[in-house]
Amino acid sequence: MKNNKVYLPVDALARHEDFVIAYEDGTPLYTVRSDWSSARDKVRFFGRLGGESCLIKPDAQTLSYYIQLERYEHALRTFRVFDHYYLEGRLWQIRGSLTACPLDFTNEKTGRREVRVSRRLAKGMGEAYEVRVADVSKLRIAAAAVVAIALKEEWRGKSEGEDEGDAEGSRLARLRNWMLGGRGKTYEQLLAEDAEYAEREAARLARLDARAAR
């Protein structure tokens, strides 16, 4: 399918500049705009006709990002930044990081991979994230979720902690813990409190250093 994938620049968030999400032939899907000054900034998506069609905004603690797309609202939850995310409203378990693609979005109910994010060279864009979906109706929310993850990773934002995101626990219990949760944990707190996470992070950073040295 021609229109089941879009591209956004790998360094879009690092440059703190507005950017375009485009189809493979270069046709824009969204122009993405923000102040890009902090994790608290709202991010707005504008379609080809210029109207705003999607909005990402943080909660009061900048722990979760709410994605308002058309009539629906989804919440990107972060259990461990660079390691484990979840998109409420789509049942997407997301394990991994944009810095270590491919990154898959898996439906926790069916076990089916519904989104894959890879690094590719894109027309007129250079190195980019390719967001590919199995169902084209999910392309826009998948692209917005990737931007939300990129925001979280750019600012090393807060996490709930893996205890609250236990995939073996019931979804209702996890949702209750989220609604009653606290202010979240900083990246530094996670490293200090979670030995497994600290080990995984050391390995991820070593791979990034090795890639940069090539």
Q: What is the pLDDT of residues 7-40, one digit of tens each?
A: 999 999 999 999 999 999 999 999 999 999 999 9
Burial (CB < 10 A; 0-12, 13-18, 19+), residue 38, is exposed
pLDDT digits (tens, 9 = 90+) for 72-125: 999 999 999 999 999 999 999 999 999 999 999 999 999 999 999 999 999 889
Give the end-to-end CA distance of the chain in Å, rounded to a whole number: 34
pLDDT band of residue 214 (cuts 50, 70, 90) is confident
Question: CATH number, domain at 106?
Answer: 2.40.160.200
Are 28 and 48 a contacting pair, CB within 8 Å?
Answer: yes
Tell me what pLDDT residue 211 has.
Answer: 85
Q: Say what the pTM is.
A: 0.91
Residue 109 phi, psi dihedral angles, 5° rounding: -85, -45
The CA distance from 31 to 33, in Å, is 7
Residue 165 pLDDT > 50, yes or no? no
Other beta carbons within 10 angstroms of residue 142's beta carbon come to 24
- Angle value at C-alpha 163, between 161 and 165, nearest 5 degrees: 80
Element (H, E) at 33: strand 28-33
Closest by CA to 48, choosing from 69, 23, 77, 27, is 27
Tell me what pLDDT residue 183 has.
Answer: 75
Please tell me the total number of residues recorded for the chain in this structure: 214
3-state secondary structure (DSSP) of residue 35: coil
Q: How many domains does the chain have?
A: 1
On the CB side of 190, CA atoms within 13 Å amount to 26
**Full domain range(s) for residue 202:** 5-213
